[in-house]
Amino acid sequence: MATGEEAIKRFRMGEVYRYPRPALPDLPTVDGIPNFHHIVSVPGLASLQLEKGINSPSATRAVDGERLAAVLLQSSVHKRGSIENPWHDTLAPDEGFARYFGDNKTPDVDPGLANGNRTLLRQFELHTSPDRAKRERAAPMLLFRSTQKGLKEFAGLGLIVGAKRVTQFSEKNGGFFTNYLFDLAILSLTEEDESLAMLWIRDRRDPTLAAPIANAMAPKSWQAWVKFGSPEIERVRRRVTRYHILPKRDQVASATSDTGKTLRTIYQFYEHRRHRFEALASLACESMIRGTGASYRRGWLTRGTGDGGLDFVGRIDIGEGLSSTKLVVLGQAKCEKIDTPTNGVHIARTVARLRRGWVGAYVTTSFFSEHVQREIYDDQYPVLLLNGTNLANEVVKLKLASGLPSVEEYLEHVDADYEAQVSSRRPEEVLWE
């Protein structure tokens, strides 16, 4: 029987929790902030941890077989774009998805042997199984963002829906290595008032309870998925109806941060040759789109004058064989002052060039004002926006993948190939390649 205190222990969507060291499980709050260790504590059981990117308790040997109570994933947002974490995860709880890189970082090692990857691959098999008994044993993914040292934001309840191998590069570990990239669906917690009760996880750790009983306290979305399987995921996926407006503070990195320094280097490199910024913008756009899992083909750069709002051309491929289509991507590149919002007129010029089924991409060293973002959403413009901070993060990834030692040398490398990429071809010709 749950005590009153156990009944109210829960994580709420978007709420930040204190993660003190050493752990202080007896204190409901630390520094006036809800205490992570208090919420997850269960008398007689080892505490759940967030010491690594991929965390899980020991397996529970229950009456109907072994199961893992939960897997806790954390992504360090405050380290994004740094040498330590250039290949950063994507957490988009309001859109109902997340992409998470595994824990292999060593060249010439099978990525499936890394402890965290091995755990997630086993769960991937259960999460995609057509067998309800296997889905009953599947471990929920609890997602957290590490916003700064000692603070963890709860970002949702997830299911693994995809896993693939990717190649990464690490200066710290000495070269290229293979890792796993996991796609997750974040489930709705609407019926639970946007919260996740720890009673459920406690029951899943109880060896005397069979899996169906241990899942009795699970959120309604999880129970629906267990009952109906993968076809039910889209119905129970979390979706928040609101503008996805980013304020300036979330688009402009601190000048003293690694991301801010990278962006400053980019701006200074192109400040007196701004038309050549198109080459970098095209590469960054490709990196960003490929990072979402989509197939992208880079096209060419336009002439430096008379482009009418068009700087580079690319193509997004969707599907395979007869069940496929191709979308033209028209790109606009603007090397602008970092602290000045980009001009909405430039975005309108790009939109004006789009034909039915085409997509625009706008890449800037600056940021997008709330007014411009709201206008794009209200008018439903099919335009991908890449602000200065996003650009810097993509450049760090591209630089590391190239093996070049500095951002400056990478920019010189990109600029050296500028003339070879310029063409006067019509955008639709990219569909024929």
At 236-293, the pLDDT tens digits run 999 875 557 888 888 888 888 889 999 999 999 999 999 999 999 999 999 999 988 8
pLDDT at 87: 61
Rg, Å, the chain Cα set: 23
The CB density around residue 277, as the number of other CB atoms within 10 Å, is: 27
* Annotated domain spans of the chain: 4-236, 248-432
Q: Is the peptide bond before 22 cis (omega within 30 degrees of 0)?
A: yes
- Going by the DSSP 8-state scheme, the letter that residue 187 receives in this structure is B
- Provide the strand spans (E) within 171-242: 175-186, 195-197
Half-sphere exposure of 301 (CA within 13 A, CB side): 22
Chain centre to alpha carbon of residue 428: 31
Q: What gap in Å lies between CA 261 and CA 289, rounded to an integer?
A: 24
User: Taking Cα atoms as reference points, which of 332, 310, 281, 277 lies closest to residue 427?
Assistant: 310
Task: Read off the tokens for 300.
Answer: 């060419």
Query: Is residue 220 within 8 Å of 227, Cβ to Cβ?
Result: no
Q: What is the topology classification, in CATH, of domain 248-432?
A: Trna Endonuclease; Chain: A, domain 1 (3.40.1350)
What does the alpha-carbon distance between residue 147 and residue 50 come to, in Å, rounded to a whole number? 13
The pLDDT value given to residue 268? 96
Pairing of strands 383-386, 97-101: unpaired
For 338, which DSSP code? T
Whole-number pLDDT of residue 263: 95
Q: Which amino acid is at 293?
A: G
Q: Which residue has the tokens 């701004």?
A: 274
Q: How many residues belong to the chain? A: 433
Pick the CATH number of 4-236 from 2.30.280.20, 1.20.140.10, 3.40.50.300, 1.10.150.120: 2.30.280.20
- Residue 278, both tokens: 């198109």
CA neighbours within 13 Å on the CB side: how many for 4?
A: 0
Give the 3-state secondary structure percentages of the chain, helix then strand then coil, rounded to 5. Answer: 35, 25, 40
* Regions of the chain short of the pLDDT cut 50: 1, 78, 80-85, 307
How far the first Cα of the chain sits from its last, in Å, is 66
d(CA 388, CA 282): 14
> Which residue spans within 26-89 are E strands per DSSP?
29-30, 33-34, 54-55, 60-62, 65-67, 71-76
Q: Which residues pair with 324 in a beta bridge?
A: 319
> How much is the pLDDT for 17?
97
